[in-house]
Chain A
Amino acid sequence: MWKNAVALTQKIYLFPRCNGLRSISGLPCSTSCRNSLNNISRIRSINIQPYRCTSFFNKLPADHLWSGVTGVSNAGKKRGRGKGIGRKSSKDLNRGQVIGVGKANIVWPGLNAPIIRGRELVQQQQLPPDPEREKKLEEIRNKMGVFKPLRLSPMERGWSGSKMPGRSIGPPDSIGEDNFEGFDTKVLELKLVVNMSGNFGRKRRVSSLVVTGNGNGLAGFAMGKANDAKASLRTAKNRAGQKLVFVDIYKNHTVYHDFFCQFGKTKIFVQKKPEGYGLHCHRAIKTMCEVIGIKDLHAKIEGPTNLGHIIKAFFLGLVQQKTHKALAEEKKLHLVEFRKENGNYPEVVASPTKCRSPEEIPAEEVLDYTQYCMGNRIVLKKKKYPPFYTKLPFWTVCMKKKENIRNHDKVRLHLMSEYGEIRSFLTDKYPECKPFYKSPSEEVDAEN
């Protein structure tokens, strides 16, 4: 009975064991009932109506009742209705309820109080109603049925929701004495793969691609397969730890030079960027850069964005980079760096052992640094056209309206720095010359 508690059936609780009561001559179902019947029988002129205490609400368990209210019919389910709503809205009303404690705050000796307290027999008595109880119940019920999203701190979150790709799974397991200190592994792909075999039929396994690195140029990637995700990630992680390569990072923040790399049909154009630029690239490349330790870079992928291909192409490109010294030696020319923030001061970053003279350089030789590094490939830069809406009439109207306020933000900033508030030099003379001004009479009205 208690289990069947539903808000609508609360009334029934007040007559807990009277379910079987049919008539005065009927068999009493409990001692307490019997006592009360005995009392009643002493009164002569009493008219007792036969009363059926059974109803829809106390015949069914709570689950059934709830599913009746919030559930979806079989036909509906087939059509995909009501996914995940049942758990969300059903509430267990028994939570927080204690036998013997109810709305009427009554002391029942033996039920919610000891029969003998000290030397005295405890009497049944009604105490003043307890408002706290209702509140507590309400609170508990409010807490129930609310959707709780998976708690994952923003730093731990991967590319999307609580999915694994993009998430960090810690360093590879140490092998004997060698432990991977400062390493971090990130998942790039986690997917179900199936294999049809003669004996077993469709065999499911989980495949994962991870990249591990110490954020300081040492990194490796590997694929792992296992029957469950956890094992697959672990194998991949540990395999990645065994396949480390070293990548030179320029000034600890970016790549040495622009480069082009390709694996299969996946082509990547990588550009060197200044400090503070960030990683503007495919999310997989971004994740790889994070574990390798590259902080600023721009990359554009042409062709398929198959994760395995991206990883392989990018690692190939990184490994095949040439240092400044190597480039200078290759070209037999000085390599000179010009930085705008340094006033374009020509800083020689590498010199060859023997420099060529101008006569030795053939006319058709590529001398442009970027072109040389990219292997004569050029990134397709599409011309940017103004968006279509700039040709619509509303655009002109909008621009005209904005023209009047085009400098307001600057003026506001200037005034704030000058006076600490937005005012005019006329405000001294005319106090109303100020935003949100209220005249003294208005202020009095507002107070009243």
Chain B
Amino acid sequence: MALNMARVWCRCSSYCIKKNNFPNVGVNFLHLSRSVAGYERDPAPLFFSPDVQRIMRKMTKVDVKKVFRSRKLGEKLDAPEYKFLTSEELEQYMKETEKKVEERLQVPPIVKEREEINEVLSVDRALTGYDSAKFVFTDITFGVPNKDRIIVVREPDGTLRKAFWNERFRMNQIYFPEPDRQLRTPHMFEEPYLTNVLDRGEYEFVLDRACVQYEPNDPEYYRVTSTTYDHIEKEQMFDALQSTRHFGALAFYLCWNKQIDNFVLYYIQNDRIEDAVMLIQLFHLLNPESKSAETDSKDALKFIQAYISKDSSRKSVLEIALQSFLELQKQRQFVEEGIKKAHGM
């Protein structure tokens, strides 16, 4: 399928705009009181908090070449356009590009899953037998957003109730179709096809399409994304999402579920101590009750050490990795000094 990626990042912009006046979003998603599978606490307030957003953005690491890499848009290619620009104009274009990068790297919102709708409006038994089929009524008044649309169902037994989520999804898609969103769930999101796609390492494709197909509070969205994140964690393919909008969400998910050990290990093994520190900072932000959350060390290694000793479940492995990293550092320093001496500096 040729997925219009350009639309993908537009799609969730409605949520992202609201991150500044976040209580509004809360009204939409926080009316849920029951704890739903996936997120026991509500992740939305933490997700939209500026600190978390900042760390996620920083961790994403912009590689402009990757953000603007060639994408298969499913359209005919055009010959490239050329322009003669002065240095000032070029700078202007570059500034606009930076803005575009920010837009493209907006992390898809992570919110609590929605609750089932079970609201009966009226029961009229005298209507029993009026018809053998249900009647689904959709209000198509102009300018009403999908989530506020009135959709009701008259059951054959005379009950008038609000439509369930799946019915709402179908009616919204029938009368107000979203481009590239399918009425039936694409087979890609079903097993065994999902595992197949993930085994091929098409993480970004799965996550992008999930953004198109589902609302962020859909349990299915949670299922697909969490399966993908787990797969990435298992395969240690963290770099696959680097410089994409999903990297922050991946880090958020892993921190939220307290399974960042592999991630930290990966960073230590690749000499990326700063990234590891940021990850642990995010972990502390999302889990203020964790034991290492109080560590206030300025030294990166001590900071990581504190996490390993207090909160990690794979202490031994991480300790060894850290030790070998330190030794490597020492050796490097030794060699460098030797070189300096040899050069007579």
Q: Whole-angstrom distance from the CB of A280 to the nearest CB of chain B?
A: 12
Q: Once bound together, how far apart are the Cα atoms of A418 and B75, in whole Å?
A: 25
Closest chain B CB from A322 CB (angstroms)? 12
Contact of A341 with B86 in the complex, beta carbons under 8 Å: no
A121 within 8 A of B: no
- In the bound complex, residues from chain A placing their C-beta under 8 Å from that of B89 are 358
Give the residues in chain B near A369, CB-CB below 8 Å.
81-84
Q: Which residues of B contact A346 (CB under 8 A)?
A: 85, 90, 93-94, 97
The stretch that binds B, out of A2-10, A32-40, A178-186, A329-337, is: A329-337
Expressed in whole angstroms, the Cα–Cα distance for A230 and B90 within the complex equals 58
Q: Which stretch in A124-132, A269-277, A378-386 binds the other chain? A: A269-277
Residues of chain A within 8 A (CB-CB) of B97 are 345-346
Please determine whether B184 and A339 come into contact, CB atoms closer than 8 angstroms.
no
Per the bound structure, the CA–CA distance linking A257 and B6 in Å amounts to 28
Contacts of B36 in A (CB 8 A): none
Determine if A341 and B79 form an interchain contact, defined as CB atoms under 8 angstroms apart.
no
**9 A-B contacts (beta carbon < 8 Å):** A272-B79, A334-B90, A335-B83, A336-B84, A338-B83, A340-B73, A345-B97, A349-B82, A355-B87
Complex: how many Å from CA A210 to CA B6? 48
Q: In the complex, what residues of A have CB within 8 A of residue B73's CB?
A: 340-341
Cα-based distance from A131 to B283 in the complex (angstroms): 93
User: CB of A46 within 8 A of chain B?
Assistant: no
Decide: A335 near B82, CB < 8 A? Known: A342-B70, A343-B6, A345-B64: yes
Is the Cβ of A343 less than 8 Å from the Cβ of B100?
Answer: yes
Which residues from chain A contact B184 at a C-beta distance below 8 Å? 418
B144 at interface by CB-CB < 8 Å: no
State whether B68 touches A343 (Cβ < 8 A). yes
Complex CA distance for A336 and B86, rounded to whole angstroms:
10
Separation of A345 and B93 alpha carbons in the complex (Å): 9
- A337, A346, A372, A417: residue with the most chain B Cβ atoms closer than 10 Å: A346
Q: B62 → chain A, closest Cβ, in Å?
A: 12
The yes or no answer to B77 lying at the interface (CB within 8 A) is yes
Identify which of A254, A257, A275 contacts B82 (C-beta below 8 A): A257
A367 at the interface (CB under 8 A from B): yes
**A residues neighboring B (CB under 8 Å):** 254, 257, 271-277, 328, 331, 333-343, 345-346, 348-349, 355-358, 361, 367, 369-370, 372, 417-418
- Give Cα A417 to B193, complex, Å: 14
Minimum CB distance partner of B94 in chain A: A346
Interface residues on B, range: 20 to 34
B71 within 8 A of A: yes
CB <8 Å contact, B80 and A336: no
On whether the beta carbons of B69 and A273 are closer than 8 Å, the reply is no
Q: Is the CB of B79 within 8 A of A337?
A: no
Asked whether B71 lies within 8 Å of A341 as measured between CB atoms, the reply is yes
**Shortest distance between the CB of A276 and any CB in chain B (Å):** 6
B193 CB to nearest chain A CB (Å): 12
CB of B88 within 8 Å of the partner chain: yes
B78 at the interface (CB under 8 A from A): yes
Q: Nearest chain B CB to A295's CB is how many angstroms away?
A: 13
Interface on B for A, CB 8 Å cutoff? 6, 64, 67-73, 75, 77-90, 93-94, 97, 100, 104, 184, 187
- The chain B residue sitting closest to A345, CB to CB, is B68
Q: Is the CB of A336 within 8 A of B79?
A: no
**In angstroms, how far is the closest chain B Cβ from the Cβ of A275?**
7
Q: Which of B6, B82, B94 has a CB less than 8 Å from the CB of A337? A: B82
Q: Are B70 and A336 in contact (CB under 8 A)?
A: no
Given the complex of chains A and B, what is the CA–CA distance between A271 and B90 in angstroms? 26
Which of these, A275, A335, A338, A345, contacts B84 with CB under 8 Å?
A: A335
Across the A-B interface, the 9 shortest Cβ-Cβ residue pairs = A345-B68, A274-B77, A333-B84, A369-B82, A346-B93, A338-B81, A339-B80, A343-B68, A342-B68
Docked-complex contact A367 and B77, CB < 8 angstroms: no
- B125 CB to closest chain A CB (Å) equals 29
Please judge, given known A-B contacts A342-B69, A343-B68, whether A357 and B83 are in contact too, CB under 8 Å. Answer: no
Distance of A279 from chain B, by nearest CB (Å):
14
Min C-beta distance of B259 to chain A, whole Å: 34
Chain A residues lying within 8 Å of B82, measured Cβ to Cβ, are 257, 335-338, 349, 369-370
Bound complex: CA of A328 vs CA of B90, how far in Å?
Answer: 14
Return A21 CB to nearest CB of chain B, in Å. Answer: 86
Most buried by B among A336, A361, A372: A336
A23–B238 CA distance with the chains assembled, in angstroms: 112
Distance in angstroms between the alpha carbons of A257 and B84 in the assembled complex: 13
State A346–B88 Cα separation when bound (angstroms).
13
CA of A236 to CA of B42 in the docked complex: distance in angstroms?
A: 81
> Which residues of the partner chain B approach A345 to less than 8 Å between Cβ atoms?
64, 68, 97
Q: Give complex CA distance A427, B329 in Å.
A: 71
- Which residues of the partner chain B approach A271 to less than 8 Å between Cβ atoms? 79
List the A residue with the shortest CB-CB distance to B64: A345
CB-CB under 8 A from B70, the residues of chain A are 339, 341-342
Name which residue of chain A comes closest to B183, CB basis: A414
CB distance from A1 to the nearest CB of B (A): 73
Cβ of A19 to closest chain B Cβ, rounded Å: 80
Residues of B within 8 A of A356 (CB): 86
Q: Assuming A275-B77, A346-B93, A346-B97, is B71 touching A334 (CB within 8 A)? A: no
- Give the Cβ gap from B78 to chain A, nearest Cβ, in Å: 5
Task: Please indicate the chain B residues that have their CB under 8 angstroms from the CB of A417 in the complex.
Answer: 187
State how many angstroms separate the Cβ of B5 from the closest Cβ of chain A: 9
Q: Chain B residues near A254: list those with CB within 8 A.
A: 79
Contact B77 A333 (CB under 8 A): no
Known: A338-B82, A343-B104. 8 other contacts (CB 8 A): A273-B79, A277-B77, A328-B84, A336-B90, A337-B81, A337-B82, A346-B97, A358-B89
